[in-house]
Structure formats: structure tokens, C-alpha cells
Structure 1
Amino acid sequence: MTIQDLAMLYPQHVQTTSARTSEALARGGYDHLVVPSGTLHYHVFDDRDYPFATNPQFKAWVPLTRNPGSWVVATPGQKPKLVYLQPADYWHAVPQAPSGWWVDQFDIVVIRTPEEALQHLPKDASRCAILGEPQSALGDFVPNNPPVVVDYLEYHRAFKTPYEVALMREATRIGVRAHRAAERNFRAGSSEFGIHLAYCQAAGQDANDLPYSNIVALNEHGAVLHYTERDRLPPRDSRSFLIDAGASFHGYACDITRTYAADTAGEFQTLIDTMDAAQLRMCDEVRAGFDYKQLHLNAHLAIAGILRDFGITRLSPEAAVETGVSSVFFPHGIGHGIGLQVHDVAGFAESDRGGTIPKPAGHPYLRLTRVLQPGMVVTIEPGLYFIDLLLEELRQGAHANDVDWARIEAFKPYGGIRIEDDVVCTEGAPLNLTREGFAAA
């Protein structure tokens, strides 16, 4: 993707965001949208700050992620304004003056102190919808986060503009490059910590840049869904490797998971290959008008069939799902929305006026219940794990005899499998950003 590509796509993105803002403000009876970028957070009893995280409502407008103390002001019928803090400071690196392919879309005012922003915000704060965290308050501009405005903007944020998809494609390119480096280091015998460092080096991103904390799990650690401990020494025998790691580009995220076997001719590799084929079929269900809840339930049926085919359970897929046995091996949701946030907002929104679409009974961890529509970007991440806690509950329950415990013991040293792609819903066939990225790498 070139600078020219971004320059062509960005104006339409700002137009779309402005139109959504105008409607949201009209519904709430406000004249202006005011969005602070956020401020630094500090540890209690300490002068050390946490890594800065930009307000997602701010970076929905501008490709700025390291600019605390700045503001966006949007007023219907007017060019949006960026109040840009460029402090006079010799303790820290000062942000460069705004420049590049995006600045023509804004009236930009540069300030030297946070308090100067008050001179450039609307006269009457009571006429403003102010979206941000409480500590971003400045004078009368205290974030009020009116639900009618937030509900509308977050609901429609699910529908990505071509500019947003382009940024997610670039984040994917970075993430794929880093995943390739991680696999190479796994096969070379590195530790979890060493693989993590190789990933960060290849991505050119660290904890301040990555969209979430890398999951780098060898062997049994793959059975811990959010494993982030990262042993410093490699295990004596590296049997398997599960990595769930993303990358960012101008505030947009990718979210990629892959699982590898050290023995590429063994049965665990065959199980990975079978899960991979099933995952691709699930990705193909990302179609306009398809209910994401049903996609999740279909995934349970598919994984239950794999469990039976590999002799792990003796139940039919339907019985495994009905009895909850499939959830022992696949205990999380099939995925979530993704974009400005890894777990993007409004996953349960009934409409842009609010309301909630409930999760299917017995599936408490699903993060998205909406019907898919063009422009939505979702993850598809089926998993199959051998988790001691859940297996022990199964062993003590009514369906203990419906599984082959010897088969389970044979697979437990490998931890588990998760395969995750980011998929765009279109008017036709889905666009799999992740597979596209791996194919081009």
C-alpha cells in the first residue's frame, strides 16, 4: 500500500465518519462532537506512567496513536478541527508537526500546553457530546459519553470503510511477517521469550505498539487460552507451538493465531491440518445476511465431528453439542469484531439505537451476536484444547464414558490448537485478509 493509496481513500473515510457524526449528534440534540485523544495514566504511589492508549473515538478520525492531550472537534457542515498538542519539552521526544496525506482534511491548530486547547474548543460545552475517559476532562469539557451518540457511532463502526480495510490489510502484512519469524524460531528450538522477542523484532513493534499482549505457548501451555508467561528457557522437548499475536498500523489491528507441530508427519500435525480445513470452511460462512451466532454453533458441530473422527469422543456431533461436551474442548467463542480495537465494540448491538442481542444459551463467551453485513470485519478462530480443569469436570460428570481417556492423554502434551483469520464480509465471497497475507509473504 502506497501513500497515494491512503491519500485517495482517506477523504471518503472522513466524509463517512462526518456523516455518521451528524446523525448521531442530531439524535442526541448536540451541536458538536468533541473527542480527546486521552491522557497519561500513572501507577499509584509512583511517577511511572502506563503505556499510552489512544481513545478509539479519536483515532477513528485521525491516524495518530501517540499524541496525548490532543482533541478532535466535529461540527456538522464544517471542516473537522484537530487541536494538536506539540509541547515544549526537553525530557521527552516531542511529536512532529502534523504533515502528510491526511492533514488536508482538517483545520489544524498546534498548541504548546494542554490548557491551550480550551481556546479552540466550542464556546458552550453543554452543547457538546464529549467522548472520552473521565481524566481527559479539561475545564468545562468533561466527557459525558451520551449513550444515544455512542450507541450510534459504535454500531456503525462495525462497517469498515475502504480506508479502514486498507489499514487492516497493512497491519496483517506486518503481523504475517512476524508470524513467519516466530515459526522459524520455534523450529530452531527457541524459548517462548525468545520467540516473542523475534516476533517483536520482525514486526518492528513492542508492547507500546502491539494491539494486545502476545500469546506464545509451547507444548501444554497451548491449553491456557490467554497464556502470557513466556518461559525464558526452552523446554527439553518442543512438541507444539501456539502463537496468538497481532500488529497495528495507524491505530488498526490484526489478530492472527497459528498452531504448529514439531513433528510434521505425526498425528498432532494431522489434527492441525484437519482443524485448518474446517476453519477455512467457517471463514467461507462470513456472508452478508448470515447470523454470526449460527456460525459459532456450526463451528461447535464441526469440531465435535473432528473429536469423533479422531476417536477422542464417541458422541455424534449433535449429541456432543447438546450435552456440552464440545464446550469442554472448545470453550470460547468463534471470534469477534476487529478494527480500531482487537475486540471491537457493539458486538451485541441490536440496532444503532441500542438494545442487546443475547448470546446462545450455553455459550457465554461469544463476543459477537449480530447478523453479518458488508463492511464488517470479524475473526474466525476455532479451537480444540486439552484443558485439565475442564477435563476433570468431564471426568466427574455424566459423560465420562463418552470419551476415550487414553486418546486424551496422548494429545494433552501438545496443549491445543487455535487457528485465527481476520475476514471481511462483502457483497459476495468473503475477503480473508490473513490468508491473503500469508500467501503474499
Structure 2
Amino acid sequence: MIEDERQQHAHLDALMRAYDEALATHDIDGVLLYSGQPARHFGDDQHASFVAFGHFVHWTGQAQLAHSWLLVRPGEPPTLYLYAPADVWHLPARLPDEPWVERFRVEAHATHEPPALPSGRFAVLGEVSDDIARDMGAKANPPGLVASLNELRVRKSDYEVSCLRDANHRAMAGHLAAREAFDDGGAEFDIQLAYLRGVRQRESELPYPTIVGLNAHGGVLHYQHCDLVAPAARRSLLLDAGARYRGYCADITRTWSGRDSVAEFTPLVDGVTALQHGLIAQLAPGVSYVDLHRHMHEGLAVLLVEQGLVNASTEAVLESGLTRAFCPHGLGHLLGVQVHDVAGHVDATGRRRPPPAEHPTLRLTRELEAGMVVTMEPGLYIIPMLLEAHRHRPEVNWDRVDQLADHGGIRIEDNVLVTAAGPDNLTHQEP
């Protein structure tokens, strides 16, 4: 507990210094961070699930605190304008018993109105219109300041790493519970409920909708349903599920064979897992993440040839673009208070680094730095709509590929801290 408090105070101290520098650089006297508000469904009185603005969460760890504002000025304690009205319909917002609360000025308010700003040059960040900011005497989301504050979130403090590690620990408890439900023959819905019990969080508290893909559904990259009835054959489960701790996210994926999987499937799962471990071992400051993504495709080419899915040289497989049909997504992304965290395509100098033309979905194109936390998630899928363009290729063993189609796909994903001493895998490795 003492170490946790020390880390949290150090995190706040560093954040205050960094904000002071950023505000001075952009000639701004202070910044007001708006947590945001849940969107109301059209023609209804119900709201969608809500997640607070990332920069607000960076200070407070409160990912579900709506209609609240945080004023940050050099030389002053941050002021939190907490939306906490007297309400017979809802429980008012409550702040945790944590060190950051003691260091903030906290003012409870009962309306959605933004606070009055003192005289000076101020910026307002978050989901705030130019008109509202102008009425407040401030600028809304000035790009230069936003870019500077995004960059502050790229390298994690010791406190942030501890939060991410805890989020991973919680998420892995959910994964193990979900695997038991899969082994017991549960439907996707049963597996989802088991995950929620294991992780001890509501669906609305998770950092993203859980992907529970049985059999062919594992080949839909962001599969969004949960079947209520278990399939007659239990061939595979792809589970992509995370957790939050103090606003910080875990993003973990596992793939398991079922009792009805074909013999060829498990070696592919093992091969993708080994490929992932090898890629993680290469994580170090100065390494290009784009190069790591290309290494993933090189490893997939080797795996496709070794497992008899393609009868060609690995060079020919890469040249043909087949690996992109078997894995259309990027190797991973930055992770923090957002799952797909900010600044993945812009380096510390502000230079934009777009993904390569042949890999347009890659979310991280920077060179790695100590303190970054990244996901590492190679995959191999049987996606008919992508493979159809290659049906004319005789080197593909289509009988074997088609036999695997009702197994969906494979993705293995861990969350890893980059350090000068080597990669630090924050994801608890299950037995």
C-alpha cells in the first residue's frame, strides 16, 4: 500500500511538471479537461455505455465519471468540478479513497454547465464545441496542445505499469473461468457470463465488448454476438477480453482447441503462440514496430508452409500476399487508459508515420521506446471472403484450408512493457 501511494504521488508529480511545460510551450495559462457525457439514443430516454475522455482519466483513473471537469493550471492544485447532483433516480458519484483525491480541490456541482474560467488564455479539451469554448473565453482542442498531451501518455510511469499489470491479472482470471465454461460445453453466452464472473466487472465497465467466438465465429475479427445455444461440435474458442483497473486497460486474446477440432488445428495454435513469443522477445527500445509487423508475416509464411497449408517457398508466399489474406490486421497497438491508445502514428517529434500501403490496418508505426506498453497479437484466420481472391493458386492446399474453415481463427495476444533490460510481459501466463 505504501508503494502504491508512492507511485501514485510520483505519477501526479510528473504529470504536473509535464503539463506545466506543455502549457508554457503553447502559451496557455491553463487547460480544462471535460470527462464527457453519455450519448442518448435517438427518440429514447436511455443512454449508451459511457467512457470518460482519456486525458481526464490519465489524471483521475475515473473512466465512468460523466459531466465532470478538471482544471489544470501551473502552480495550482488541479480542481475537479465533480458532477454529483442530489438525485432520487441515481446514486451520486463518489470518489475513491486514494492519494490523488487529497491533492485535488474538489467542488461538487449539480448541473451540466461548465465552470467559469478565470481570466487568461485557456484551452478546453474533450467533447466540447467551438461555440461552447468561445463562450467560456477559451479555445477548444487546440491541435498542438492535444498532440503534446497525447505524447505524455505514450511512456508509462511506474504507477501506470502497476495499474496495467493489475488489469491484466483480473482479465486473466476471467479468461481461465471462460475456458472452463468452454470445456464444459457452454454456449457463447455462457462463456461470456463465466468471464464476467471471473473478472468481477460489469460489461459496461470492461474496456471493450468481449469477443466470444466459437468455431467459425473466431474468424470474424470483431465478432459482436453471443449465441445462446451451444453448437453441436466444439471445435475452437477465440476469446478476446479485457478488464480495467483505475482506468487502465488489459487487452488479452487466447485461442483454444475443442474436443471436436481436427488434428491440424492445435499445431497451428501452438505455432502462432510460438511466433508471438518470438516477436515479444524482440521488443526493445529503438526497434521499429513496422519491422516487427513484417516479421510477423514472415513467421506466418513459415507456419503456413510447415503445416502444409501452402506448398511453396516462404519467399513466394510472402510475395503472393497470401499471409495478408490469412491475417489482415496489425500486430498490435499502444495500450493505456484507452485500448487503442493515442499517438500510435505520430512520433515524439510530431512527424506523422502512416502505416505502409500494404498493411493499412497497422495501428502502431513508431520506433519503440522504454516505457511503452504494446499489445502483441499475431493471428491466423480462415476468412472465406479474403481467401476467395486466391482460389486460383494451386500452391494452396485448399482441402486442408477448407477443413479448418469451421474453426474460425487463431489470435494470441499479450500486453508487454518495453524496457531497456528486455520485454516485461504484464499478462499473467496461465498454466
TM-score range, shorter chain: over 0.9
| Change over 3 Å in CA distance of 1:410–1:146 after alignment to 2 | same
Distance in 1 (CA, whole Å) between partners of 2:231 and 2:100 is 48
Deviation digits for residues 100-132 of structure 1, max 9, x if unmatched?
3322222222223333x52xx5313x6112111
Counterpart check, 1:13 vs 2:11: yes
2:121 to 124, 127, 131: 127
Distance in 2 (CA, whole Å) between partners of 1:372 and 1:310 is 32
Q: What letter is aligned with 1:415?
A: G
2:423 to 427, 430, 435: 430
2:343 to 342, 346, 351: 346
Quick check: 1:25–1:149 contact (8 Å CA) kept in 2? yes
Q: What letter is aligned with 2:34?
A: P
Q: Report how far residue 98 of structure 1 moved.
A: 5.6
Distance in 2 (CA, whole Å) between partners of 1:143 and 1:271 is 53
Quick check: 2:95–2:101 contact (8 Å CA) kept in 1? no
CA RMSD of aligned residues (A): 1.9
* 1:252 corresponding residue in structure 2: 248
Quick check: 1:171–1:253 contact (8 Å CA) kept in 2? yes
Matches within 5 A, 1:36-435: 36-96=34-94, 99-115=97-113, 118=115, 121-124=116-119, 127-134=121-128, 137=132, 140=136, 144-263=140-259, 266-352=263-349, 354-396=350-392, 400-434=393-427
Larger mean CA deviation between 381-390 and 6-15 belongs to 6-15
Q: What letter is aligned with 1:165?
A: V
Distance in 1 (CA, whole Å) between partners of 2:25 and 2:50 is 32
Distance in 2 (CA, whole Å) between partners of 1:330 and 1:67 is 37
Larger mean CA deviation between 88-97 and 294-303 belongs to 88-97
Larger mean CA deviation between 334-343 and 202-211 belongs to 202-211
Distance in 2 (CA, whole Å) between partners of 1:97 and 1:145 is 27
Q: What letter is aligned with 1:438?
A: Q
Quick check: 2:9–2:99 contact (8 Å CA) kept in 1? no
Q: Report how far residue 200 of structure 1 moved.
A: 1.1
Distance in 2 (CA, whole Å) between partners of 1:185 and 1:28 is 53
Larger mean CA deviation between 232-241 and 357-366 belongs to 357-366
Distance in 1 (CA, whole Å) between partners of 2:62 and 2:423 is 29
Quick check: 1:132–1:143 contact (8 Å CA) kept in 2? no
Distance in 2 (CA, whole Å) between partners of 1:202 and 1:18 is 36
| Change over 3 Å in CA distance of 1:189–1:141 after alignment to 2 | farther
Distance in 2 (CA, whole Å) between partners of 1:21 and 1:48 is 37
Q: Report how far residue 135 of structure 1 moved.
A: 6.1
Gaps of 5+ in 1: none
Distance in 2 (CA, whole Å) between partners of 1:155 and 1:314 is 45
Deviation digits for residues 286-342 of structure 1, max 9, x if unmatched?
111100000000000001100000111123223222221111111110001111100
| Change over 3 Å in CA distance of 1:111–1:419 after alignment to 2 | same
- Paired residues in the alignment total 428
Q: What letter is aligned with 1:209?
A: E
Q: Report how far residue 18 of structure 1 moved.
A: 1.5
Aligned partner of residue 59 in structure 1, secondary structure:
helix
Aligned partner of residue 140 in structure 2, secondary structure:
coil
Distance in 1 (CA, whole Å) between partners of 2:95 and 2:399 is 64
Deviation digits for residues 400-424 of structure 1, max 9, x if unmatched?
1121111112222211110000000
Quick check: 1:129–1:145 contact (8 Å CA) kept in 2? yes
Q: Report how far residue 177 of structure 1 moved.
A: 0.3
Quick check: 1:14–1:105 contact (8 Å CA) kept in 2? no
Q: What letter is aligned with 2:429?
A: F
Aligned partner of residue 61 in structure 1, secondary structure:
helix
Q: What letter is aligned with 2:396?
A: V
Q: What letter is aligned with 1:241?
A: L
Q: Report how far residue 239 of structure 1 moved.
A: 0.7
Larger mean CA deviation between 282-291 and 126-135 belongs to 126-135
- TM-score normalised according to structure 1 size: 0.93
Q: Report how far residue 234 of structure 1 moved.
A: 0.4
Aligned partner of residue 364 in structure 1, secondary structure:
coil
Larger mean CA deviation between 150-159 and 293-302 belongs to 150-159
Quick check: 1:27–1:148 contact (8 Å CA) kept in 2? no
Q: What letter is aligned with 2:188?
A: E
| Change over 3 Å in CA distance of 1:96–1:312 after alignment to 2 | same
| Change over 3 Å in CA distance of 1:300–1:85 after alignment to 2 | same
Aligned partner of residue 73 in structure 1, secondary structure:
strand
Q: Report how far residue 142 of structure 1 moved.
A: 6.5
Gaps of 5+ in 2: none
Deviation digits for residues 162-188 of structure 1, max 9, x if unmatched?
111111111111100000010000010
Q: Report how far residue 97 of structure 1 moved.
A: 5.2
Quick check: 1:336–1:368 contact (8 Å CA) kept in 2? yes
